Structure 1
Amino acid sequence: MAHVRREREALLFLGLLALLPRVHLLGLGKPFWPDEDWTLEAGFMSLGSLLWRTATEDFHPPLGYLILGLWGRFLALFGVENEVPLRLLPVLVGASVPLLLYRSLREGGVPLPYALFGSLAYALIPQGIVQDVEFRMYPLAAFWVALSLWGSLGGKPRMWAWGTLLALWTHYLAGVVAFSLGLRFGNAKILLWPVAGFLPWVPFALLQMTKVNEVAHWNGTPGERLVEVGQLLGSVAEPVLLVLGLGYWTLGLLGLLGRQNLLPVVLAVGLLFLLGFQPVSPRYLPPLLPLLAYGAALFASRLGPIGYLLLFWPLAWAYLLPWAVVAYWKTYWPTF
């Protein structure tokens, strides 16, 4: 009973810490920026119009728009149409990802303090908070990746398959990450489950690929993006942000070394490079953040008692919460 109580207390603690900064940003009432307006408009279309528009004018699958559109339609039944309640669903979904991560880590054999560390790292990372308070598909994408990770680590192929299928229909990068997590099963039949469920959308995905540079007109060549990576790192004005950000990636990647879990990172970043997207842009990386949190927890667990000191690491993100507020406003007001 004491064990069960500790687990419940840890989940409650995580849930509250994840909700607090997200609710704070939600309460600012920032107007929708163009991508959120597009999401709302697409979500209110008929199913046929939504499928065709995403296939010809976007580079994402349709499920995220469909789910958020259903949420918007539900609120509209009560005459609710402003930004705060519309963003409430992404906030709740995003705040639940650390809970899935914690369960994944525990079922994967990670001791409680280190599982708490990895989950807290995700719950409080500023960019994750910012993305979770937007009316976009990114919180859903991270949720499906975390669900797939739980299925993979817990030896639950059906859970992994459902998480991967939903990830594929929500965000291609999330789908790649989730699918590669299933390689640990070593069973081709299991891997075919989500693939079969995604086949109806494959022709439209191929059509999107032919138009990606037309739709994402800001794209460049892989070489240009490689140069931008160095420029991005050199342009960070806040040293603490750079140290904590690079530290998070370093801990995550070190924890994933020597395991199949490193493959999703390679595939995801490689896919972004290939398509001409900025591979380390915070805008495109939320689906990787749960996996990095898992890697960071693994690395901490290998340090033994010294790893307990890393529990203070996520709390350092609190220093950067004002930056999260600024970043949140910049999507709507770029000169902020």
Structure 2
Amino acid sequence: MSELSGNTGRLEEIIDREMDRHPHSQPLLEAFRPLFLVRSRLLEELQLGKEEPFKIDEIRFQGGVPVIEQHPLLQENDPWDDLVRAITPALQEGFPDLRGDLENFEKALSEGKFVLSEYFLQNRDGQENLLSAWAETLSIAAPRIGFVLNSAARVVLEKRARDIAEQIQGLKWEKGYCPICGSFPSLAVIGEKIGERWLHCSNCGHLWRFSRVICPYCEHEEQEGMDFFLIEDKPQEAAFSCDSCQRYLVTLYRVSDLNDRNLDVSALGLTHLDVIMQGKNLLPMAVTDWNVF
């Protein structure tokens, strides 16, 4: 068995195991399975565009300026068309109601009606404006186009983040947003023995260490006003919440099997916590494709 097929097979096992742990999340896990599998394959196979040598100002970085604001992570010469064409069938398989719209978008792309790199080189406001324009032209809901584009961006961001993680190792970072792409976490992990809290980026998958006594979102530091919600019969499933910013963060608590998990899959398995916390009128620290109801 090749390393690639082994990685895919291992991810299949992780998804199956999560479905056994959380049968209520089976429909979500099955829907996202094709996307997660093709993303795993692309992370191994994809050749990104040639980029400038990595260089950041370490003082600015340690002051809270993430890599993405100092070094381009999404580039014009990245293989955007190939990525979208590879990801589209997985989204159509997992989300059949998107099939027609994604076929129309892919057809427009093949006909050269859009230049995908234009979207990825924009800031957030520019992306929203361009997405709205494309959606209006094709009569497709903007979130549907955004789903495939953001899925493509995730592959590029995660692939670059893996390399950058080694280069920023040892540099001081004390923020609750990702040191690489600047996004807030979708999941936290607290280890079984040491008790450290690690944050999992919602946008590039990077994992970084962060204080357990500070809110990642608003940096509120007083114990009063912060809470920890635990599922009574499942002590590893928890959610941190902050009264100051009214945000919460789904958390894996005192886990010892981190190497046998995929944290995006784990987050999908814990959507019952999202439902509970949003029922308390709290918002997630990061909006994902699965945690807003």
What TM-score do the two structures reach when normalised by structure 1?
0.27
Greater per-residue helix proportion = 1
Point out which structure has higher relative CO (alpha carbons under 8 A, 6+ apart).
Answer: 1
Greater per-residue strand proportion = 2
